[in-house]
Structure 1
Amino acid sequence: MKQSTQGSAEAGTPGRRTSGGPRVPAQARVPGALDGVRERDTAVPAARGEHTHGERPIPGPRPAVQRCSVRGQILDALRTALATGELRPGEVYSAPVLGERFGVSATPVREAMQQLAQEGAVEVVPNRGFRVVERGARELAELAEVRALIEVPVMLRLARTVPGERWAELRPLAQDTVRAAADGCPATYAESDRAFHRALLALSGNEQLVGVATDLHRRSQWPPVRQGRAYLVADAAEHMTLLDALIAGDVDAVRGLVTGHFAGSYGAHAGAATATP
């Protein structure tokens, strides 16, 4: 595993020399940072010096107040950086340094990173920050195998019981994966891919199954395997073909497609391992 030379999670700015140690290199700026968006833009000022003794409540229904979620924006930006490989596997990133890049304090970054740790994308390094997980080809293939064990039998059962018109309602999601693949953005494709598979499994009515399968799917996408645009286009095309078979009620075709879809994942991970120096 590549060792990072990042300083502590609370240590100064990039390029600062720590006591008795080497100079700490600056962390690369993460694309998708919230340019111009800072916590002060969304925070509600504290009311100071105000008293409400004897003040009557304002009549009428309470209006809906929507506030911009800094943590949510940071989480989206970090997920994009993970999917595109801007946050590199094996590297340690501290919340204060990432917060400086995003123009916010370390708190929402740390909260977002904790969420990513729960999802298996990063791991906590005490007193330093968060390390982006490294997964070898074997682990990724194992994740794909577990997904197949869960999803294939469910898909075959649904293919026999769900009417074609219900499957047809999912065509826009399949088309989203085709467009995302054509754009070649791994982050966009990863999100659309999960949305399509999640919608397929949701027809089972089993929320626990959908949650487990989605978590496995997300883990299998981080860190991203560099298949390239051609692989994404072919993967998205399989979504369209699978949906056509489901609409037609062709169970044999569905069996071959879903089995081959996951077998392709095994091959992609094995190929990535072969290409690694």
Structure 2
Amino acid sequence: MAAESGITRLVKSSSLRERVEKAIGAAIISGEMAPGELFSAPALAARFDVSATPVREAMLNLEKRGLVTAVRNKGFRVTEIDSGSLERLAGVRQLLEPAALALLAPQFTIQMAAAARVHAAQIVAGAVNEDLAAYLEADRTFHLLLLGYLDNPYLVEIVADLRERTRLGGLKSLLHTDRLEASAHEHHEIVDLLEAHDADGVRRLMHRHIGHVTGWWSGADEG
């Protein structure tokens, strides 16, 4: 029997419609489900070994998020995002996240570091195991956890929305290079700098880290 992909394992491991939505969203963001590709609810239901109903519900939510568009009597098409839009999304994150972590650095605690390192380790494991679904889920949790320590739910909500709109079409191609692991290990470096209360250092690293969105992860910089 063929080995299950990380996306399929994610669906089986965690409330049905939410799991399906999370898994399909990860497949779209990582490029596993390519822009412009058309998918029917029954085909996706068979792929994830669930009924068509939670798939349709998940796809309708993904349509609201702009990840797919409904095609009458055919299914859902993965929407495309141009490089200019990707750069603008990353640009807003560049304005918010490095400054936010610089604010967090002076008040970062040992307890915060311990919690963050659990997710940093999961990110590294996702890269090593070439499991993009696990990688993306742990990456999202890690970054939103750090922002959550600033006790500003609006910031967390805005960054979460920006991340959901972002496409990382080159991410899958990084599975067979050392770049995905290098990016994964940057999460431990972020925690190191926060633990050292190095505001300038973590600001610089976050600028570089988010820069991967329009570089390595987009497929624009494959050299």
Question: Per the shorter chain, which TM-score range?
Answer: 0.7 to 0.9
| Bigger helix share | 2
Q: Please tell me whether residue 231 in structure 1 is matched to residue 179 in structure 2.
A: yes
Matching of residues 1-277 of structure 1 within 5 Å: 32=8, 69-83=15-29, 85-102=31-48, 104-221=50-167, 223=169, 225-229=171-175, 230-268=178-216, 272-273=219-220
Tell whether the 8 Å contact from 2:35 to 2:80 is kept in structure 1 after alignment. yes
Tell whether the 8 Å contact from 2:33 to 2:78 is kept in structure 1 after alignment. yes
Tell whether the 8 Å contact from 1:225 to 1:269 is kept in structure 2 after alignment. yes
Tell whether the 8 Å contact from 2:215 to 2:221 is kept in structure 1 after alignment. no
Output one character per residue of 1:188-238: Cα deviation in whole Å (capped at 9) or x when no partner: 211111111011101011112112211211322455544513221111111
**What is the CA distance between 1:164 and its match in structure 2?**
4.7
Question: Structure 1 residues 168, 247: closer, same or farther in 2, change over 3 A?
Answer: farther
The residue type paired with residue 167 of structure 1 is A
Question: Structure 1 residues 266, 76: closer, same or farther in 2, change over 3 A?
Answer: closer
SS of match in other structure, 1:32: helix
TM-score (ref. length: structure 2):
0.80
**What is the CA distance between 1:69 and its match in structure 2?**
4.0
- Max Rg structure: 1
**What is the CA distance between 1:145 and its match in structure 2?**
1.2
**What is the CA distance between 1:105 and its match in structure 2?**
4.4
The residue type paired with residue 199 of structure 1 is L
**What is the CA distance between 1:119 and its match in structure 2?**
2.7
Question: Structure 1 residues 269, 179: closer, same or farther in 2, change over 3 A?
Answer: closer
Question: Structure 1 residues 227, 91: closer, same or farther in 2, change over 3 A?
Answer: closer
Aligned length: 213
Question: Structure 1 residues 117, 222: closer, same or farther in 2, change over 3 A?
Answer: farther
The residue type paired with residue 72 of structure 1 is E
**What is the CA distance between 1:77 and its match in structure 2?**
4.1
Higher relative contact order structure (alpha carbons within 8 Å, sequence separation ≥ 6) = 2
Greater Cα offset, 175-184 or 96-105: 96-105
Unaligned regions of 5+ residues in structure 2, if any? 1-6
Tell whether the 8 Å contact from 1:181 to 1:236 is kept in structure 2 after alignment. yes
Greater Cα offset, 237-246 or 133-142: 133-142
CA distance in 2, matches of 1:70, 1:80: 15
